[in-house]
Amino acid sequence: MLCSGSRKLKVLPRIMTADVSVATPVLRELDPATHLILSLFSKNHNIIFGFRIGPGLWDACTCIILLIFISVESEAMQKVVNSDYPGDVFLMSAPDDWHVHLRDGVALKTTVAHTARCFRRAVIMPNLDRPVTTLDEAMAYKARIEKARPQGLKFSPLMTLYLTEDTTAAQLRQAHSHGIFGVKYYPAGATTNSRSGVRNLERVMPALEAMAELQMPLLMHGEVADGEIDPFDREAVFIDRVLQPLLNALPQLKLVLEHITTEQAVACVRDTPSLGATITAHHLLYNRSALFRSGLQPDMFCRPVLQREHHRLALLGAATGGEKRFFLGTDSAPHGTKSKYCCCGRPGIYTAPFALELYTEAFARVDALDQLEGFACRHGSEFYGLPPNQEMITIKRMTQIVPDSYQLGDDRVVPLLAGQSVHWQI
C-alpha cells in the first residue's frame, strides 16, 4: 500500500482487516471511546443523557461526540503505528534495491513486476547470457526493462556495465556522461555468466583509475574463483588478495562490496570509509545448515554461499545496527527449474516476490524494526549521493503463503520459501 505525504504523518485511517494481530490492539485501545458513545445514545435518537433535546442541539452534540471519538481513535492508531504495537503495522519510506538480477527477454514480465512491487529504484546487474559491456547495450536493456514495468508502478532501473579486461577509460567516461550508474566487477568464473570477468586486476587498472576520477561506483562480487580455495573462505581470501590491494592503490575509488557474507567483510567495511556493502535477506536469515537440511537443497544454493552461524550474526549486527555503509541489496537471482534442478544447478536464490517482507522478518526477530527504514531506504541513497524516496509504504503483520512457483518465460522459477508462510505484507 503506497501513500503520499510528509514522513511526519504517522496516523493511518482505521484498518479494516481480518488479521487479528492488527485488529485486536486497535479495538482494545478504542474500546473506551466506543463505550462512551454507546452510553450517550439511546435507541431514541432524540435523547441524550436522559434528556429530550431538539434537532439542532442534537446535531451539535453529535458533532462534539464524533470529534472526541475521532481524536481517541487517531491517538490509538498512533500508538499502534509508532510505539505500543510496532510489530503489527508501521510506516516507512519506499525502499530501493541496490543489487538485483532481472534476466532478460520474456522473463522480464515476471521479474520486473516483482521488484517494482515495492522498490522504487534498483541497481540492475549486467551479467546476462551476453554481458552488458557497452553504453548502447545498457540503454537497450534499460528500454526492455521499462517496457516490462507494470503500468502505474514507479520504478527506475539504474544501469551498470560489466567490467572486462577490454573495457577502456574512454568507454566509461562516455557511459558516465549518459547516466550509467556504475560498473560491476566479476572475477572470471566466480558466478553465473562471469566467464568474461576479470582475471588480472592490473589489466583493468586504467579503467578503474578513470572511475575513481569520475567517482563512478565499482560494484564488486567479492570472491576468488580459485578452485583450490574452500568455497566458504573465498570472500575472506578475496578481501586479502584483491580488495585490500585495490583500496591501497586507489583509496579515492567509490567501491561497494556486494552481498557480503562474512565477519571479515563486515570488519573491512567498518575500517574503510570509502567502502559500502549490500546484504541480502537470505544471508541474514539462514546459515549454511539450510543448504544441507534433509538433503541437498538447490533453492538454498547461491554465490557467495550461505555461511557459518557466527558470520550470519555478524551480518545481522551490521544490518540492524544503524551503520550507514551497510544497505539493502537483494541479489535476487532467478533461474528456471530446468537450470536450477539438474546435475550442475546454477547458483541463485529468487527472493524478489517477498523481498521486503523477508528483511522485515530478519529485523523483527532481533527486535530492530526501528532500524529497517535506514537500512532499506536511506543508507544506500546517502552512500550514492541520491535523494531519498518521498513516497511512504505501510508494512503490517499478516501471514501470506508464498506461491510454489512463477512463470519465467517458457519455464518456472521457484521462490525462496515456496509453499511456506511469510508473516508480513506491504
What are the catalytic residues? Answer: 331
CB 288 within 8 A of CB 310: no
C-alpha cell at 299: 533453492
DSSP state letter for 104: S
**Rounded Cα distance, 392 and 17, in Å:** 20
Side chain identity at 407, as an amino acid letter?
Q
**Rounded Cα distance, 160 and 126, in Å:** 6
Crossing angle between the packed helical segments 309-320 and 263-271, to the nearest 10 degrees = 30
In angstroms, how far is the first alpha carbon of the chain from the final one? 6
Residue 241 φ then ψ, to 5°: -85, -35
| Helices (H), ranges, 52-168 | 55-82, 108-116, 135-148
Q: Which residues, 6+ apart, have CB-to-CB distance to 212 below 8 Å?
A: 250, 252, 253, 254
Beta-bridge partner residues of 392: 3, 93
CA 247, 250, 252, 253: dihedral to nearest 10 degrees? -80
Reported as half-sphere exposure (CB side, CA atoms, 13 A), residue 390 has a value of 4
**Rounded Cα distance, 380 and 123, in Å:** 11
C-alpha distances (whole Å) from 248 to each of 109, 168, 241, 274, 350 are 43, 22, 12, 11, 35
List of long-range contacts for 201-209, beta carbons under 8 Å, 24+ apart: 201/242, 201/245, 201/246, 203/165, 204/163, 204/164, 204/165, 204/167, 205/249, 206/168, 206/169, 207/163, 207/167, 207/168, 207/169, 207/171, 207/172, 207/183, 208/246, 208/250, 208/253, 209/169, 209/250
CB 171 within 8 A of CB 162: no
The radius of gyration of the chain's CA atoms, rounded to the nearest angstrom, is 25
List of long-range contacts for 43-50, beta carbons under 8 Å, 24+ apart: none
Polymer length of the chain: 426
Four-residue CA torsion sign, 394, 398, 403, 404: positive
